[in-house]
Amino acid sequence: MVAGMSYVGPDFDAPEPRPPRRGPLTVAIAALVPAALLGWLVYEAVADTGGRPAGAAPRTGPPAAAPSADDGKLSPSSPAPALSGSLKGKVVLVDAGHNPGNFRHTAEINRPVDIGTARKECDTTGTSTNSGYTEARFTLDVARRLRTILERQGATVKFTQDGDRAWGPCVDERARIGNAAHADAAVSVHADGAAQGDRGFHVILPASVHKGTADTRPIVGPSRDLGERIEDSFTRVTGSKPSNYVGDGTGLDVRSDLGGLNLSTVPKVFIECGNMRDSTDAARLTSGAWRQKAAQGISEGIVSFLRG
């Protein structure tokens, strides 16, 4: 809301004694089988760690909320896209809204920061489903899935936070991270906290703002293009409908009160993937298979935008 599984291979019986001489076909098969098994194991390790190779340095910071069995996993019904390199040289900023640790640092996140048009709190805790599944946990999961998909296509993906800091960052810093990375596209992932019966997703676009430290005029056009492409692909891939309570059915909303958009100098949008307080939307948001579709829908919009 704006506001290590490891594979255990089968037990193999001890090999039977073989004749001392082997034909060339037998030797070739014997060499290929271990290599194929090793390749499969490497793929599983990468997929289950959100695209990070096994053995990579562990991320630091406070432990995140205990994940469900399918948190961060690719859905069996949504096979990973093949490596294509089509986004080589492109930089994408993925901003996982809020932070699981924000609720422990209320003084820090309540500190006002300048967003150009006003001063607002540094960050918020976000919302949650009625059963307690938090927005911060949702956004991290979708962001990690999105990173995996984009990196497999050759993009460089930057995060504002990856559960590797105790709280935040503040909304102004989130914008600066994307600006410093010279991101070709930036997306902030959220989920809403509206009333029961309010359903669907919407993409938030930056208004034309030129006040104080904020000047969105150069990014309004490209941000709308990015947002419209994400709205289209998200609808198609997830089966979700545009919001019935924001955007007049278009799935698009323009705002001038969000620091993450006001202070951005790169094309950027927010996406509210659904309403966590509505039981129908909550059933989707808490499903790992659906979150994989959400990441895929967002990624296809980004790819369409970057390819032009």
Where in the sequence numbering do the catalytic residues fall? 272
Q: How many CB atoms lie within 10 A of CB 132?
A: 8
Q: Please, are residues 90 and 184 in contact by the beta-carbon 8 Å criterion?
A: yes
- Give the number of other CB atoms < 10 A from CB of residue 56: 9
Residue given tokens 């979700």 in the structure block: 240
Tell which residue, 174, 180, 167, 171, has the closest CA to residue 113: 171
Give the span between the Cα atoms of 253 and 242, in whole angstroms: 11
Answer yes or no: are the C-beta atoms of 190 and 2 closer than 8 Å.
yes
**Alpha carbon distances (Å) from 253 to 63, 204, 291:** 34, 5, 22
For Cα atoms 125, 129, 132, give the angle at the middle one, nearest 5 degrees: 75
Classify burial at 302, counting beta carbons within 10 Å of its beta carbon; exposed 0-12, middle 13-18, buried 19 or more: buried
Query: 69 burial class (0-12, 13-18, 19+ CB within 10 angstroms)?
Result: exposed
Partners of 255 in beta bridges:
206
Q: Which of 242, 238, 251 is nearest to 290 (CA)?
A: 238
User: Is the Cβ–Cβ distance between 258 and 269 less than 8 Å?
Assistant: no
| Whole-number Å distance between alpha carbons of 187 and 260 | 10
* Pair of tokens at residue 123: 């960050």
Compute the distance between CA of residue 191 and CA of residue 239 in angstroms, rounded to an integer: 16
